[in-house]
Amino acid sequence: MTRTILHVDLDAFFCSVEELERPELKGCAFAVGGKPDERGVVSSASYPARCFSIKSAMPTARALRLYPDLIIVSPHHKIYSKYSRKVMALLFDSAPLVEQLSIDEAFLDVSDDPLPGKEIAASLQKTIKDHFGLPTSWGVATNKLVAKIASEVGKPEGLVVVPPGEEERFLSPLPVQMLWGVGPKTCEQLDKFKIRSVGELAIVSPERLKLLFGERGLDLIAKAKGVDRSAVASVRERRSISSERTFAADVAEYRVLDRSLRRMSEELGSRLRKEGLAGSTVRIKVRWPDFSTITRQARLQQPSDQDGEIYRAASKLFRKAWHEGAAVRLLGVGVSNLGPPARQLELFSHSWEHDENLLKAIDSIRKRYGPDALRRADSLRDAKRTSDSD
């Protein structure tokens, strides 16, 4: 199956954040970094500074020799982390598999999404710009290697799509050092054989490259041809299952929010039963319009896979966290501490058993006719008015 992998990189991230905090820096040649008299280095250079060949990892003293009027800004790592967390939270909400590479880079696997990768990337690029004021570059390809290089090629504020089958042709004219695993040393060795572009590397005979680099030589050729099978390794562990909804417009109406909690609880219950799991912790997540996010959790008396129990716990948590009129951007329910359902005999109560039989019947109908075939009447009532987008 052809995969769709997105790579996102925040452009000159530290500098972009500094420009938000100090708008007078906008358009200036400046660098975030250590002081020149303390052997500091540049962590991030603004695009105007890059015109003077100033790059990250360069000693600040050298950067100042290249451009004596360069403004040096001391780093504010706490603020960068704060922005990074907000952007990453948005990404994690937007794709089932997200691998954060660093403070300002991530891979998203959107292979299962019916929307084209280009549209997903364009929409996220716009959201990140509109909500956080941060420019990003995106690469869309069939694997991580090519997606990462595509985003690099498009900088700043680029969106480069490499269609399936075009990987090798896309990489061909680029310098070999743009490939992963081609550092200065490898580059130097390749240069001796006049191999400077990825295309030149791709056509070297495997035997020759094996003599030079051993097994790694074959790996280099595969990379030069744009082959990479590594998976997007989601950092989210499957110690919980959750369901979330970002509303198309912020919602402040309790009835709508509560309805959404019930629907998500039903979905979770159904998924737990399908996988033969039960969870003993219920958690909610609420994101406010300014993107600040809270989570609250509660322990159940015993592990549960029942919609009603999950919903009651989630609803109680929500009522404590929410106040009348507060608008909500995203709402989520999760169940963790997963294990096999260990329901104890409840000799004097048949209500739960009744519920379980009912739920089994519901699950079998949903399986046959799709998830919307059957819903409790009270979760149907407002269905038209909720503008949930999953």
CB of 26 to Mg ion, least distance (A): 18
- Listed ranges 7-15, 30-38, 242-250, 377-385: which one lies at the site for Mg ion (CB under 5 A): 7-15
The string of DSSP letters for 307-352 reads: HHHHHHHHHHHHHHH--TT--EEEEEEEEEEEE---PPP-TT--HH
Residue type, 366: R
Residue with tokens 């019947």: 361
Write down the catalytic residue from 18, 99, 105, 167: 105
Residue with tokens 């290697």: 145
Convert residues 181-210 into a mask of x (bound to Mg ion by CB under 5 A) and - (unbound).
Answer: ------------------------------
Nearest residue (CB) to Mg ion, 138 versus 318: 138
CB of 9 to Mg ion, least distance (A): 4
Strands, DSSP E only, in the chain? 5-10, 30-33, 42-45, 71-73, 97-102, 105-109, 136-141, 159-161, 240-251, 278-287, 293-304, 328-339, 388-389
CB of 296 to Mg ion, least distance (A): 33
On the 0-12 / 13-18 / 19+ scale of CB atoms within 10 A, 1 is: exposed
Cα angle 129-135-139, degrees, rounded to a multiple of 5: 110
Nearest residue (CB) to Mg ion, 56 versus 197: 56
| Alpha carbons 129 and 293: distance in angstroms, whole number | 19
Phi, psi of 259, deg, nearest 5 = -60, -40
Nearest residue (CB) to Mg ion, 156 versus 341: 156
- Listed ranges 11-19, 67-75, 158-166, 381-389: which one lies at the site for Mg ion (CB under 5 A): 11-19
CB of 146 to Mg ion, least distance (A): 18
CB of 298 to Mg ion, least distance (A): 39
Asked whether the beta carbons of 378 and 263 are under 8 A apart, the reply is no
Active site residue 99: no
Nearest residue (CB) to Mg ion, 9 versus 309: 9
- Listed ranges 2-10, 88-96, 329-337, 357-365: which one lies at the site for Mg ion (CB under 5 A): 2-10
From residue 138, how far is each of 6, 9, 177, 225 by CA, in Å?
7, 7, 20, 21
CB of 197 to Mg ion, least distance (A): 24
Q: Verify binding: residue 18, Mg ion, rule CB under 5 A.
A: no
Question: Residues in contact with Mg ion, total (CB under 5 A)?
Answer: 4
- Listed ranges 5-13, 68-76, 302-310, 325-333: which one lies at the site for Mg ion (CB under 5 A): 5-13
Asked whether the beta carbons of 287 and 330 are under 8 A apart, the reply is yes
Q: Tokens standing for 358?
A: 């009912």
Out of 3, 6, 7, 9, name the contact with Mg ion by CB under 5 A. 9
Nearest residue (CB) to Mg ion, 13 versus 80: 13
CB of 232 to Mg ion, least distance (A): 18
CB of 133 to Mg ion, least distance (A): 15
Q: Residue 285's beta-bridge partner residues?
A: 295, 332
Nearest C-alpha neighbor of 69 from the set 96, 48, 39, 93: 48
| Alpha carbons 217 and 229: distance in angstroms, whole number | 17
Nearest residue (CB) to Mg ion, 18 versus 307: 18
Burial letters 180-205, b for 16+ CB under 10 A, else e: eebeeebeeebeeeebebbbbbbebe
- Listed ranges 4-12, 180-188, 222-230, 375-383: which one lies at the site for Mg ion (CB under 5 A): 4-12
Nearest residue (CB) to Mg ion, 104 versus 307: 104
| Alpha carbons 309 and 307: distance in angstroms, whole number | 6
Convert residues 72-111 into a mask of x (bound to Mg ion by CB under 5 A) and - (unbound).
Answer: --------------------------------x-------
Query: Binding to Mg ion (CB under 5 A): which residues in 101-160?
Result: 104
Enumerate the active-site residues.
105
Task: By CB under 5 A, name the binding residues for Mg ion.
Answer: 9-10, 13, 104
